[in-house]
């Protein structure tokens, strides 16, 4: 019996969801940070039901991105241990775990978007494909930053742990830059 790769992703992510949701640092922040995981699982499930199988590369990257989000949700991005390790190794003043997350926020949607556009033969010329993928990812990143801003306006307490700016006045711009670099990555390959 062969298991559907899309469903395999669900079974591999469920233990991470259980771990991440068990006594997170901040419950509200956990929900804010992990909602994209649940949206992604629903989207992959719907795609599987309609017969759309993502490539193994896309599924692995989606899974890694979900794990990254779940770890960030559990600890908050500013306190995530992998970011603390990197901070110590390189002597950074802040935890850059969120930068890794934003790089993935550009790269993973770029892989998925590119796969969808190529399979559906949307563009006759490759140049438009890369331009559209990068534009989509930058727009997605900007929308996410606007959502963070709106959350900060609504809830002062949730804003610091959710935004995780760590005193960086250029945090929003750097986040979008990292997403842009992530979106460029598949276009170089």
Summarize pLDDT for 41-100 with one digit per residue, the tens.
999 988 888 888 888 899 999 999 999 999 999 998 888 999 889 888 988 888 889 999
Residue 34's pLDDT is what? 95
> Residue 82 belongs to what domain range?
5-188
> How many domains, in total, are found in the chain?
1
Residue 3's pLDDT is what? 66
Summarize pLDDT for 135-147 with one digit per residue, the tens.
999 999 999 888 8
Residue 71 makes CB contacts below 8 A (sequence gap 6+) with: 20, 80, 82, 97
């Amino acid at each position: 019996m062969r298991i559907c790769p899309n469903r395999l992703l669900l079974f591999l992510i469920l233990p991470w969801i259980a771990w991440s949701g068990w006594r997170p640092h901040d419950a509200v922040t956990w929900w804010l940070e992990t909602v994209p995981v649940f949206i992604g699982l629903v989207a992959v499930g719907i795609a599987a039901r309609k017969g759309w199988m993502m490539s193994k590369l896309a599924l692995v990257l989606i899974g890694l991105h979900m794990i990254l989000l779940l770890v960030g949700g559990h600890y908050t991005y500013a306190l995530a241990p992998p970011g603390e390790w990197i901070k110590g190794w390189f002597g950074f003043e802040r935890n850059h775990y969120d930068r890794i997350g934003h790089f993935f926020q550009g790269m993973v949607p770029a892989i998925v978007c590119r796969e969808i556009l190529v399979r559906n033969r949307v563009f006759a010329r490759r140049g438009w494909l890369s331009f559209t993928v990068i534009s989509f990812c930058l727009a997605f990143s900007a929308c996410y930053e606007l959502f963070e801003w709106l959350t900060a306006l609504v809830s002062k307490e949730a804003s610091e742990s959710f935004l995780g700016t760590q005193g960086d006045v250029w945090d929003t711009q750097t986040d979008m830059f990292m997403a842009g670099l992530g979106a460029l990555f598949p276009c170089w390959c």
